[in-house]
Amino acid sequence: MVNDVVGRYRSLLNDDELRWIREFDTLPHSGRCLCVRLLSRKGPVFRTDKLRYPEIDDLAGAITALLDAGMIQPFQPGSWSQLAPWVTKAEILRYVPAGLGKLRKPELVAQLELQAHPLPELALIVLSQTELLETLLLLYFGNARQDLAQFVVSDLGIQVFENYSLDPSLNAFEQRSQLEAARQLSQLDKRRQLASEQKDRLAILALADELPLPLPWPRWERRRQRLLLEIAREYERDKQPQQALALYQHSQLAPSRERQARLHLNADAPHRARPLVRAMLDQPENEQELTVARRLGKKLNRIAPFEYPQLAPPQIQQCTLTLNGKDAPIELLVAEHYQAQGWQAHYCENALLNALFGLAFWPAIFAPVQGAFLNPYQLGPTDMFSPQFTQTRRDAIDRILSRWQPAQLLDTFDQKQGIANYWVNWDGISRPLIESALSSLSHAQLTACFRRLLFDLKANRSGHPDLFLTRNNRCLWLEVKGPGDSLRDNQIRWLTFFDDHDIQAAVCYVTIDASSDD
């Protein structure tokens, strides 16, 4: 990985990074192994007596090599509170009077600081360049999602990747400023996720002041705007609508217009919501935004005349079942019910249609398109879920739509078994399931499904019904809903689409008869 990054991005690396790489190349094998291990762990401070790795025979020699190279430094905490993260409560109890064992660790640390108790001698080290690995990974993979674990799962055979073409002349980054912007966004988003997990709303709100200005690189500008939307939504939850509006106005991504319109309506300012809803109706970013715009149009029309497309309520087939209560998902209970009536039942949710699409369009997905593949560990092209995917592969896509045959999909299933693909969840499908779908759905029906997926690859890959049932070469899609559950917008759109194309589908409302439990 390091050699690849240097070969492609030497001009973007600064002097300190190049010096570190040169030192890394001169380390003994044990030193390189330890360096990678430390960079991969949460640090940057480590206790040397806690470091044990089977591939490193001479740990002391490896530590010495890293110290000599300046890649680590000795770390000496100045107080018990600074030392606390690297000692256990049991270790602290050795230094406090007996009888304090019931105190919590922070209270014990406070006691030791009050007593000015000398610190124990522990061998601690600290990494010198903690951000270097993040930089190398970002340059190698071209994204902030993949890390060193990717090499492990690949080497173990957990993931096998398609043998697509890599163009060494195409890089994810052309300027150092582009790399710095990507790193900044990655770090901000990690902090947002951590604050969200810790339910620290104030920490999320504070990120607004650290957002960079609009970026000239479309990919990273979209990511900046997505982060902006997350922060704006948190301002809404914190009952700060004006701050939320100020952020939403700087994003062109959905659901920015929706959130702005709702805030204006909540503030009794429908005149400000009207142009936003009109723009959503005239040029929706996706189907969901159009669905929401119709609802908002209805609200505006109640206040003052406002033209909006009024659609008839969707005609969705329904059925109801009362089933015995069991400790099993209701989808499996419904599947058992239909199996007893002679149906083959598959609980596959989004896996089936997505897999059929992935198998049919495999050649287009992994086509040698400029800039599509930046590293050997991709599940698909970099533009997989953007409009550019269909625009740049229009001829290949049209060819597949007009010529695909069931036998070709089955051949692809056999030939590509286990190879990673965004669309094919190999654990969620089987050859009999694919055969059942191909024999019970017509060519025209599946082609229509493919076209709908292509219309919005990101949004339409979800919302598919839970169960796929077949009997006598007939199929039935079932969306299963338990007590209190209701259909989501994307599920309604798929069920309506199935009805429009004579594909049997229904929503099954299930009531559990708890009285029959043992």
Please determine, for residue 305, whether its predicted confidence score (pLDDT) is greater than 60.
yes
Amino acid identity, residue 92? I
Please report, as a single letter, which amino acid is at residue 174: E
The predicted structure's pLDDT at residue 163:
95
Q: Provide the b/e sequence for 295-326 (b: ≥16 CB within 10 Å).
A: ebbebbeeeeebebeeeeeeebeeeeeebeee
Q: Are 280 and 262 in contact (CB under 8 A)?
A: no
Q: Is the pLDDT of residue 127 over 60?
A: yes
Q: Tell me the pLDDT tens digit for each residue of 370-417.
A: 889 999 999 999 999 988 999 999 999 999 999 999 999 999 999 999
Mean pLDDT of the chain: 93
Query: CA angle, 13 as apex, 7 and 17 as ends, to 5°?
Result: 105
Phi, psi of 305 (to 5 degrees): -50, 130
**Structural domains in the chain plus CATH codes:** 2-154 (no CATH), 164-303 (1.25.40), 318-516 (no CATH)
Phi-psi region of 147 (alpha: psi -120 to 50; beta: other; left: phi over 0): beta
Res. 518: pLDDT tops 60: no
| Beta-carbon-side half-sphere exposure of residue 229 (alpha carbons within 13 Å) | 16
pLDDT at 151 over 70: yes
Distance of CA 171 to the CA centre of its chain: 23
Please tell me the predicted confidence (pLDDT) of residue 116: 80
In this prediction, residue 516 carries a pLDDT of: 56
| Alpha-carbon gap, residue 140 to 5, rounded angstroms | 6
Q: How confident is the model at residue 324 (pLDDT cuts 50, 70, 90)?
A: confident
Burial class (CB in 10 A: 0-12, 13-18, 19+), 497: middle
